[in-house]
Each structure stands twice: as C-alpha cells, then as structure tokens.
Amino acid sequence: MRYRILGGTGIEVSSYCLGTMMFGAIGNPDHDDCVRIVHAALDQGINVVDTADMYSAGESEEIVGKALRGRRDDVVLATKVHFPMGEGRNRRGNSRRWIVTAVEESLRRLGTDRIDLYQVHRPDHNTDVEETLWVLNDLVTQGKIRAFGCSTFPPEEIVEAHHVAERRGLGRFRTEQPPYSILARGVETSVLPVCQRYGMGVLTWSPLAWGFLSGRYRKGQPVDLSSGRPQLAPARFDPSLPVNAAKLEIVEQLVDLATGLGCTLPQLAVAFAVAHPAVSSVIIGPRTMEQLDDLLAGASLTLDDATLDRIDEIVPPGTDVYQVDGAWRPPVLADPNRRRRALPDRAAA
C-alpha cells in the first residue's frame, strides 16, 4: 500500500480509502461481515475509513464504530453531514443549528470522541458558506473534529469558500471529495486543478462508476434491475437507454485493455484514479470480502504513459460519459424559476 499526505493537513493516508456506503441496509446488512471487511482492509494497509451520517440512515456509522473498537487510534476516520436525517425541516443542510446536532449524533454512532475529517456532503444554497465555516472552525477548537472538507462541490464554490475563509480569518476546507472515474472525468477540467492550486487533499469516490467498471455489466448481457445497485437506480443500468449503451461500449474496450495488462477491470479503474497527481486517496466501497480482496490485489498496479494514453483515446480527458451525481442538482438547474426572467404583470400592461 502506498501513502500520501492529505493536502496540507500533515495527515498521512493510504492511497486506497475504505468507503462504507454499502454497509447496512442499503448494501450488506450483516454487521459482523462488515466488521470483518474493515479489519481485513486495515490489516492490508488501509488507514483511512470514510462514511457519512446518511448512509443507511446512520447504520453505516454504527458498523464502523463497532469495527474500530480497540483500533481507533490507528485510523483516519472521515464522515460527512448535509443530507436529511429523519423527520424535521432543520435536520439537514449546512447550518450551524444542524451541524452542531449532527456532529454529536455522528460521534455517538461512531463511538468516538473525535472525527479526523468532517466533510460537508454537498453545498447548501440556503446557508451562507461563512456560517458553515464558522461552526466547523468552532468544532476544531472544541476538539470534536481535527480537519474539515467538502464533497462534490463545484469549483466556483470551492473558490468562494476559500475567499470567505481568508477574508474572515477562518480555517478553510482542507479536502474535497469528488466523483472520479474513467467514465466520469469532468472534474479534471476545474475541480482537481482548483484543489491543487489551494493545496487541498482529494479523496475521490465511485472509481467503478456505480459498478459499471466492476465487470459485472457487459454488452449483450441481461441486467437484473430488481436487485443490488440496479434496484436503487434502474435508469442508470437499463441497457436500452443510449447513455448506458455508450457505457457498455466503453467497458468492452477497457476490458480488453485490462486483459492485456494482466489485471481485472476494477483494478484498472482504481489505478487510473490513483494516477492523477491531485488525488490523495481513492475511496473503494466493497460490499463483500471478495470485492475487497480483488481491489486490494491491484494496490501495487501503476499505469504507464502508454496505458493512460489509451484510456484518453477511449474517454477523452474532462469528459463525463453520464450524469455523475444523481443525489444532488444545483438549485439553478433544478428550479426553473431561477433560470427564467419573470413575465411582466398583465394588469400593469
């Protein structure tokens, strides 16, 4: 396992990060099995574990807490806040009111007194970013979190947050967690360069592009839309849709490339993300021990220029083959009223 410094934090992290989104009801409901996966990852050199309060409605954090009993000091523990947690209009977002509550709930579920990296899961356009930065700074002062970052922020909002932090004398986002894979290279255009400019660490998610780079889905083969990931988002996997057909065409070319290198498609996919100079650690999210073992078997794989050039031919740099983030859309795109000038009042005319 290789290790890198996480931005300017001084924290050393493994180039592979164990993501736990698939722990709990949404993926693997067997707590003991999930604990074994965490222990196996740690035993093989992974030292950073990433979760979020909303993963399986807090169940993932509870599993991670069980797994880290007796090993907490050896792990860089990361979690996130933003998405709704239960009933109530204010049990969500990036306000001081919610974050102060959410961090205490995460600490309780994780069974720890501190979080090494606390990440704002998505932007909140109803909350001034200064409000969010103030409360995160307070949590650092209180010792409840060690560092804080953002996740899936557009580049302009990362820049704005840094400007606000500098203007107000506040600590700044130290990390960003964007989606990044061979099928989702859009962050290469601005997000990753912005992170490099500001000295931010980068932990990327979905290197297997929602499972399309797992090798499980192939051209001409039927897809069971009633179970697993396809059940969660059938439109992402329906092979009759043009966007998915395009992904399957690319997968066939990548399978040939991986075969020529003597590795599996998932190993090629993760090695691609690790290769970018802005990336500190790539989040892998195994649901089973078998998936973990396959991914870790490729931890020493380094892609040469010829291989990276071939990937560039298959999917050009900066290209997103599909809409990457299905969980959130900027309000300016989701709300038509923000994109349309109001019509003159007819009575006044």
Q: Which residues are catalytic?
A: 55
* Contacts of residue 276, Cβ cutoff 8 Å, sequence gap at least 6: 180, 188, 192
- Beta-bridge mates of residue 18: 49, 284
Strands 3-5 and 12-14: antiparallel
Question: With b meaning 16 or more CB within 10 Å and e meaning fewer, what string describes 318-346?
Answer: eebbbebbeeeeeeeeeeeeeeeeeeeee
Q: Which residues have CB under 8 Å from 290's CB, separation 6+?
A: none
Q: What contacts 24+ positions apart, CB below 8 Å, involve 234-240?
A: 236/210, 236/322, 236/326, 237/211
Nearest by Cα to 238 from 247, 250, 252: 247
Neighbour count for residue 193 (Cβ, 10 Å): 13
Identify the three-state secondary structure at position 80: strand
Take residue 257 and report the two structure tokens written for it: 């490339």
| Whether the Cβ atoms of residue 146 and residue 140 lie closer than 8 Å to each other | yes
What amino acid occupies position 54?
A: M
User: Alpha-carbon distance 159 to 163, whole Å?
Assistant: 6
Q: How many CB atoms lie within 10 A of CB 201?
A: 25
Alpha-carbon distance of 240 to 222, in angstroms, equals 10
Residue from 160, 152, 78, 87 nearest 127 by CA: 160
Between CA 60 and CA 125 the distance in angstroms is: 27
